[in-house]
Structure 1
Amino acid sequence: MSQSRLASCIPIPIEHKILVSVIEKAKDWALMHGVGMRDKKNFTKDAIQIAPFVLLPSPFPRSEFEKAVELQPVLNELMHKVAHDDEFLEQTLKNALQVDEFTRGLYNIWMKVREEGIMQSLSLGLFRSDYLMHVGDGNKIKQVEFNTVAASFGALTSNLPAMYRYILRQLGHGDLIKNMPENLALSGLCAGITEAYDLFGVPGSVVLFVVEEVSYNICDQRFHEFHIAETRPDIMIYRKTLGEIYEETELNEKKQLILEGSPVAVVYYRSGYEPAQYPTPKEWDARLRVERSTAIKCPSIQYQLAGTKKVQQALAAPGALERLAGGAAPRIRDIFTGLYSLDFDDSGESAVEMALADADKFVLKPQREGGGNNLYGAAVREALLRMRRSRERAAYILMERILPPIVSGYVVRAGAPVPPPVTDLVSELGIFGVIIGTKDKIYSNKQVGHMLRTKLADADEGGVAAGLGALDSPYLLDM
């Protein structure tokens, strides 16, 4: 099936002199408003460079954008229920646990804290549900994945509507600004952290951000801290790696997590979602210590398990949504694409045969977040042939490939020639959600903002932090 096209918000190509001028202005605007990242090749803590961005906001159907926004609280609640359904998680993950060491490590922590008795019944979710429009379904959104840990770019993308308003005015198209939705993701996500802090209710407690050894995406992380420092100066925030948490924290007799003499109210993970972030047993011990504590975790271990791809596939099975989501099931099922188990049973064998027959129609996805892990096209066939008789395949799911519409545009990157060429692009929409609750009571559940991530149409992966995608903002169309 060929991919359809959407027209750019303004006619392109843009005349050379005007294009060079507006890119220079846009790059300065981006740097001066923190739309930046650290350079991976020439890393220094003393400088940032522009994060890659698309020069013009990308078209997106207004009705589908609004559908995604309205659906986010429904999905928040669904994942909250999944995370607190012990039997569903156990049954869904049992085969993957036999072959996926990382997921098994997380699962073992979950089992240990359940056996000991969970000290903090509240969980904080800062979620993001990601979508592509699918040409084969009339440019309707289909869910790519649901992120329950370290859902990034809420901060940077909150600045983008203002940047695009500036760019459009500089190009003489200020009349188009009315089609740019406001984005309050940063304040909404931070409000989730401070609301959880208040529910913890211990004066003088602190917030802990769990971070990587080296943070390239520093602006996106720091803006959360700066916003909380400005709006809630009573809250002290610390940044620690899992290794530092192992060395510098302890549990007191009340099972409070103590850091620098203060109890930790909220632990917000911006790391801890992939195996490389647990290089030694110390990191695993630190994660277990946090889970055993009274701190409110974002995400709790069961939220992270609920975000695995096996859960995504299991929810697509007949009857699963109807049991967990009730009357909302049809709305949720409408955004699902084909999702198939690769377990050693009849349905798993059928999925393998289906993918081998036409590998280009599918994506092979492991139990990972963070981008860069999926397999496409010939790599799907190669991997399935290699794993066909191996239990390793149970650690993957098979998903029908979504074909989004193409739009022509310019991608602006640090150090790249100016002006960039006109290229074919596709966009992925992410909707941010916040939920706070226990198994029996939800205290807060809302949609708080969005992001748009755009990549070259012929690129399989689109992670901005990985250098494959570019930041963007939706230009809403009435289609």
Structure 2
Amino acid sequence: MASLTGGSYPPSLDDELERDRLAQVIKDWSIANGLAVRPPPAMTSDPEGILATTAPVTIFPSPFPKSCFEEAKLIQKTYNELYARISQDEEFLGELVQEVAGGDEFIANLWNVHLRVKMEGYVQNLALGLFRSDYMVHQDGSTLQIKQVEFNTIASSFAGLSAQTSQLHTYLAQTEYSLLKDTSAHAGLDLPANGSTKGLAAGLKAAFDAYGKSELGHRTCVLFLVQDGERNVFDQRHLEYELVQQSLASGTGAIPVFRLPFSQIPDRISIAPGSFKRQLLYHLPSNPSAVFEAAVVYLRAGYGPRDYPGQAAWEARYQIERSAAIACPSVLTQLAGMKKVQQVLATPESDGSHSSALRRFIKGDDKVEGLWRTFTNIFPMDDTTAAGQKARCLATDPAACQGYVLKPQREGGGNNTYRSAIPGYLQSIPEAHWGSYILMELITPPPLSNIILRNGQLEHGGVICELGVYGTCLWDQTSRDGKILHSEESGYLLRTKGDQSEEGGVAAGFGCMDSVSLV
């Protein structure tokens, strides 16, 4: 801890009155400003959907190395370019899909959606990515370096709550920390501004504007595809409200935004009859005569198998993909987020047939070296390459596996297998499916402490922080030179978890919201 702060941080809050006061201020501010989630069904019965509870959050912002923070933000536009170009390379993605699809039906089904649309022809050339690149600080002796945990190409969540968390900690620094008996929480805090809500909304607006006016005479709209019973609704609503505000500020009038549960797609959307452009029409359930044309479809659902309980759900995804709406993401962009892609990109140039993967998409030694510095060691789990065979030995060795995490091709928390649990897990699945996983060396962060407010209770102890940097990118999928129409670094997320927890997903119940104090 001293390596980042040079002293004791955060304050211990030994006084019960201090703890209670600060917790109450945070609870009230959070509800008043939408730093909230719907309560889980196990906590309370809420059939009318009127209740909210504070999102889990740290009492204090967590120290984060300034050089690492700036590097992560600076490299984001290069990551935008990288993943936009990967999504354009059907041959590259197809090869990797074939390597993992035998043990991963979900990936195989996504690829089949693409193949069906390809057969009849895509009608929308533009693709939108609201990305998030996640990092942890790796400590190697006295050296601190960001290392990428994963790159998210679908449903990159918590931009709305992240901006609110930064505002919360700024508010507390201005009003409350100086009142504590231990003033170390107030001295010298460097709290960077966080424009994550504005940034992602600007990306959505760029795509909406690029779509243009309806040729059918309908009002155009943005659809948020969401999960049934979504608890993280306020995070999404912040983006919606900001998108409306930006459109009003530009003088074009409020962009209509509608939330559509994934399961209701067949009932609420249709392809315009008789139009070869296949415009996507949305039928407002409260007013069936009101028909809108979807310019942008923003998927906050559809990233995992549970969103596809049957063939009807896959047919719904197919209708979205084949339509004229700009999908965020397209199926190919979603597939670009496979962990297998990350593993191949991180393959050293001296190893294997994928040695030039990074240079295949990014030109310029400076850009390539900048990306390379963020990679950690990642291995395939196939049985044909030397790297894959090495990984299998590591993963099945009870001692060697302690430094690794086994990852499937999934987004969202709760999917990974860590350390000593890896050998047993591998034995529980067919060996033929092992190739659909990757094995990643664990990142070793510097020790930190903080206090987490979760479900009204304070938890004090060691923590691990994970930084996510958002990027927005709009590009032409058919352009030979990978023409990018919009690309921005778009704010950040800091998620924090107890240092005894392996997973860090906030929505999955492991992590909490946090913000950065630069050191």
TM (norm. structure 1) is 0.95
Question: What's the CA shift for 1:227?
Answer: 1.6
3-state SS, counterpart of residue 465 of structure 1 = coil
Which one is further off, 227-236 or 312-321? 227-236
3-state SS, counterpart of residue 140 of structure 2 = helix
Question: What's the CA shift for 1:321?
Answer: 0.9
CA contact 2:453–2:459 (8 Å) conserved in 1 = no
Please say if 1:258 is aligned against 2:298: no
Aligned counterpart in structure 2 of residue 155 of structure 1, from 151, 160, 164: 160
Counterpart of 1:59?
63
Counterpart of 2:310?
280
Counterpart of 2:353?
none
Question: What's the CA shift for 1:4?
Answer: 8.4
Question: What's the CA shift for 1:404?
Answer: 1.1
Unaligned residue ranges in structure 2 (runs of 5+): 248-252, 284-290, 350-355
Counterpart of 2:12?
13
Question: What's the CA shift for 1:397?
Answer: 0.5
Counterpart of 2:419?
377
3-state SS, counterpart of residue 410 of structure 1 = strand
Counterpart of 1:95?
99
1:231 corresponds to which letter in structure 2?
A: Q
Counterpart of 2:445?
404
Correspondence 1:352-367 to 2 at 5 A: 352-357=392-397, 358-367=400-409
Please say if 1:81 is aligned against 2:85: yes
Q: 1:179 to 1:116 in 2, by over 3 A?
A: same
Q: Percent identity?
A: 37
Please say if 1:368 is aligned against 2:410: yes
Counterpart of 1:316?
346
3-state SS, counterpart of residue 391 of structure 2 = helix
1:26 corresponds to which letter in structure 2?
A: I
2:211 corresponds to which letter in structure 1?
A: F
3-state SS, counterpart of residue 179 of structure 1 = coil
Residue deviations 1:30-84 (CA, integer Å, cap 9, x gap):
1111111111122531010000001000000000000000000000110011110
Q: 1:63 to 1:243 in 2, by over 3 A?
A: same
Instruction: Compute the RMSD of aligned alpha carbons.
Output: 1.7
Q: 1:175 to 1:468 in 2, by over 3 A?
A: closer
- 1:9 and 1:166 map into 2 onto residues whose CA distance is 22
CA contact 1:430–1:450 (8 Å) conserved in 2 = yes
- 2:8 and 2:91 map into 1 onto residues whose CA distance is 49
Q: 1:303 to 1:46 in 2, by over 3 A?
A: same
2:363 corresponds to which letter in structure 1?
A: G
Aligned counterpart in structure 1 of residue 436 of structure 2, from 377, 384, 395: 395
Residue deviations 1:414-443 (CA, integer Å, cap 9, x gap):
232xxx242100100000000001132110
CA contact 2:99–2:435 (8 Å) conserved in 1 = yes
Residue deviations 1:118-155 (CA, integer Å, cap 9, x gap):
11010010000000111237221100000000000000
Counterpart of 1:146?
151
CA contact 2:35–2:161 (8 Å) conserved in 1 = yes
Question: What's the CA shift for 1:312?
Answer: 0.7
- 1:403 and 1:346 map into 2 onto residues whose CA distance is 27
- 1:48 and 1:98 map into 2 onto residues whose CA distance is 42
Q: 1:43 to 1:397 in 2, by over 3 A?
A: farther
Aligned counterpart in structure 1 of residue 328 of structure 2, from 280, 285, 298: 298
- 2:321 and 2:195 map into 1 onto residues whose CA distance is 30
Q: 1:304 to 1:228 in 2, by over 3 A?
A: same
Aligned counterpart in structure 1 of residue 227 of structure 2, from 212, 235, 238: 212
Question: What's the CA shift for 1:158?
Answer: 0.6
Question: What's the CA shift for 1:177?
Answer: 6.7
CA contact 1:38–1:48 (8 Å) conserved in 2 = yes
Counterpart of 1:200?
211
Counterpart of 1:239?
259
